[in-house]
Structure 1
Amino acid sequence: MESFPWIVSVDDHTVEPPHVWQDRLPAKYRELGPRIVRAPLAEMTFVGGRFSPRMGAPGSDGPLADWWVYEDLRRPLTRLDTAVGYPREEVRLEAITYEQMRPGSFSIPERLADMDINHVQSALCFPTFPRFCGQTFTEAKDHELGLLCVRAYNDWMVEEWCGPAAQGRMIPLAIVPLWDAELAAAEVRRNAARGVRAVCFSEIPPHLGLPSIHTDDWDPFLRACEETGTVISMHIGSSSRMPSTSADAPPAVGSTITFANCCFSMVDWLMSGKFDRFPGLKIMYAEGQIGWIPYILARADVVWEENRAWGGVADKVLTRPSELFARHVYGCFFDDPHGLRNLDAIGAANVLYETDYPHSDSTWPRSREVAEEQMGHLGAPVVEQLVRGNAIELLGLTPEGLWAGGGGRG
């Protein structure tokens, strides 16, 4: 395409710098809060959708890595956290240090430079150490400290990652204390007051030991999101369980079916009655791709039409599921030619573009080229809609595609 629109990516990632919690927690909590320790790696596996690292004793054999230490958790930085800039054949499951990753993973000046290379104007970033919906703090023992960690992360996200140095090009994404819906609602409102319009949530909360979306437990949180115009953003893996088929399935199995949890989650939401009760709610599925959506919508409509009398939804799902999808749900993709060929069955207004920087699946530094190759059959107005227009409208950005709380683009 002669002139391709600047991309607004709705799914990138930040690797948090070591100081995030140490600079923001009260002094009495700093030795207990998340902190970086350099130590050897003894063993690390990723089988059956489960990531299992083990830290070696000081001075023991094994490659040195930077580890997040928090309560009983020992979590190393890995090459899968930040793989951009490395040939695909060299991207392996290995523990690394900050010096071994591309600086744009954790530093704003270098991130903006990498975005320029990739034809990306603005980006919404999911967490790394807190995990994709902040479940690290939900799974912690001390929820008083966990709440402070959630707030510290959000303060860093707004004030530093999306601060003046970002020139409005970074879009803030908050986490919430998922263990308490009232506290979660309060954190949504606290951040909405300073311009945050997106919040992380789990695709399948019961996998975290939390209530399902079919209960009323989440209503305070959902009400806060609706009233503040905050988008509920669900990333693959935000249930602490990547899809897999067996405990011994290699990672390639899960990598092929990463969309599956999004698929299950979307059906949950469409059959929950929440959209009829909260008509202003908007949800999005990050990194789930879109090719699977047409069949699920068609099947959900058939079930709603023919089976709702015995299916447990007749009295709460008052609107056809495909209509609910059109009003409330957004699918996100970065590499899905099949989905784009079936865009009419999804709806161009319900699709967002992403680059997944700096993960191993990322299309960086070729996101523009990939989009041009896969969107060549679409008209210019539709391309504009997919790569930036829908995101600008959904996330309340300026007409130029910037976050208003972060200044202008230089």
Structure 2
Amino acid sequence: MTLTHSQERVAPAERIAIRCVDSDVHPVPKRGVLQEYIPEPIRTKYFRNHRVGETIYYDAPDYAHAYAMRVDTFPDDGEFACSDPDLALRQAIMEAGADVCILEPAHAPCRIPEATAALSYAHNTWQAEHWLDSKTNWHERWRGSILVAIEDPEGGAREIEKWAEHPYMAQVMIKAEPRPSWGDPKYDPIWAAAVKANKPVSCHLSRGFFETLPIPPVGLPSYNHDFMVSYSLLAANQVMSMIFDGLFDRFPTLRIVFVEHAFSWILPLMWRMDAIYEARKSWLDITRKPSEYVKDHIKFTTQPLDYPEDKTELLRAFEWMECEKILLFSSDYPHWTYDDPRWLVKHLPEHAREAVMFRNGIETYGLPDTVPALEGQTRVF
């Protein structure tokens, strides 16, 4: 069956082995749809009573025209990029070669926790009804994220429990910006619920407004290029908090995925943490070297790929950090920073290609080994 036979919309009986798991695809609701899932009174009091303006600190190339998206990802009906599941299927799966895509709806945190929670939980029902239902996900290639407001640990835990048994919800998704850092025991209900559901917890970078913006030690950045670099610093702080505050000792099976925070910085950070551990071991309650916690509990997505002029430097870094243990392929579709899997795989060490492109994804998200075959789909391997 080809995609042109849309009236049937049933999965083919033939199945193929998964060879590419894309850990970062951003679906977007059509205009006006998401508000249907936000309960009153917060729908009217918060989301319908004020405008959200443009933000100069997000000045990605061609932002005024395409909002930092690939121009070809906007559907013909005038809706936003990646609001049409069929177009996303054609571009991200049929043409680029991903076999499974992890959906990560992106939204900015709100200024009050109740609004952030309402917005997050609305996205869960929207995913289930517009992307993960049998009509849209007939091909079984989409996997959703259980969005959780980490500012609301108890409510977030209930939301994880609500969606834990959904067959296509693959992970829990949080934001990295709220304070305090993740090692604080106040967040333990989130981690406990994720562990009970056997779901990894994914963290995607975000941008809010005013005090919801991520603030580096020296103050607020002004532009997109500042933000894109400083997000790695934010992730580094969370990694240190999780390890030194004993999060992985409290939850030995917890798995964390950092999405779009880059990854090359983790190598010198592991070196530095290990050195501090050796020097102050008697003062610390953790039971292993920090680098061991990273390799056993934390994954990083490949996009954005830090690409030096001398490719051998990148290959050495891949080897030193044991990339086959900690990296997951991601494309960041439909953004302008999109990385095609056929391009990305060429820059990985040969021995790590299968692990990064699909084996780690299958293990991390609890995916099957096969998916229904789609006639004409590009294959990365």
Q: 2:145 matched to 1:170?
A: no
- The answer to whether the 8 A contact 1:21-1:34 is kept is no
Query: How many aligned residue pairs are there?
Result: 339
Q: Secondary structure at the match of 2:146?
A: coil
- 1:58 is matched with none
Give 1:192 shift.
0.9
**Amino acid of the structure 2 residue aligned with 1:343:** F
- 2:29 is matched with 16
- The answer to whether the 8 A contact 1:276-1:319 is kept is no
Render the CA deviation track for 1:200-245: whole Å, top value 9, x for unaligned. 1232421xxxx33232111111111111111111122367327696
Q: Secondary structure at the match of 2:332?
A: coil
TM-score (normalizing by structure 1):
0.72
**Amino acid of the structure 2 residue aligned with 1:388:** F
- Counterpart of 1:107 (choices 70, 84, 96) is 84
- 1:79 is matched with 66
Q: Secondary structure at the match of 1:300?
A: helix
- The answer to whether the 8 A contact 1:21-1:33 is kept is no
**Amino acid of the structure 2 residue aligned with 1:99:** G
Q: 2:340 matched to 1:361?
A: no
**Amino acid of the structure 2 residue aligned with 1:344:** E
Assess, with a 3 A threshold, how the Cα gap between structure 1 residues 336 and 275 changes in structure 2: closer, same or farther. Answer: same
Assess, with a 3 A threshold, how the Cα gap between structure 1 residues 409 and 108 changes in structure 2: closer, same or farther. Answer: farther
For structure 2, list consecutive stretches of 5 or more residues without a partner in the other structure: 1-16, 308-312, 375-381
Q: Distance in 1 between matches of 2:77 and 2:214?
A: 26
- 1:118 is matched with 96
Give 1:27 shift.
7.4
- The answer to whether the 8 A contact 1:25-1:33 is kept is no
Q: Distance in 2 between matches of 1:182 and 1:368?
A: 42
Q: Secondary structure at the match of 1:120?
A: coil
Give 1:288 shift.
2.0
- The answer to whether the 8 A contact 1:20-1:152 is kept is no
Give 1:290 shift.
2.1
Q: Distance in 2 between matches of 1:174 and 1:305?
A: 38
- Counterpart of 2:130 (choices 136, 153, 160) is 160
- 1:236 is matched with 205
Q: Distance in 2 between matches of 1:157 and 1:360?
A: 23
Give 1:371 shift.
2.5
Give 1:32 shift.
4.9
- The answer to whether the 8 A contact 2:171-2:200 is kept is yes
Q: 2:170 matched to 1:191?
A: no
- Counterpart of 1:344 (choices 313, 319, 323) is 319
**Amino acid of the structure 2 residue aligned with 1:346:** M
Percentage of identical aligned residues: 21
Render the CA deviation track for 1:17-51: whole Å, top value 9, x for unaligned. 224334334577665575799x9x9x74424x799
Within 5 Å, give how 1:34-45 maps onto structure 2.
Answer: 34=47, 44-45=54-55
Assess, with a 3 A threshold, how the Cα gap between structure 1 residues 248 and 140 changes in structure 2: closer, same or farther. Answer: closer
Q: Distance in 2 between matches of 1:351 and 1:203?
A: 19
- The answer to whether the 8 A contact 1:243-1:257 is kept is yes
Q: Distance in 1 between matches of 2:123 and 2:79?
A: 24
Assess, with a 3 A threshold, how the Cα gap between structure 1 residues 278 and 78 changes in structure 2: closer, same or farther. Answer: farther
Q: Secondary structure at the match of 1:174?
A: strand
Q: Distance in 1 between matches of 2:194 and 2:230?
A: 29
- The answer to whether the 8 A contact 2:176-2:234 is kept is yes
TM-score (normalizing by structure 2):
0.77
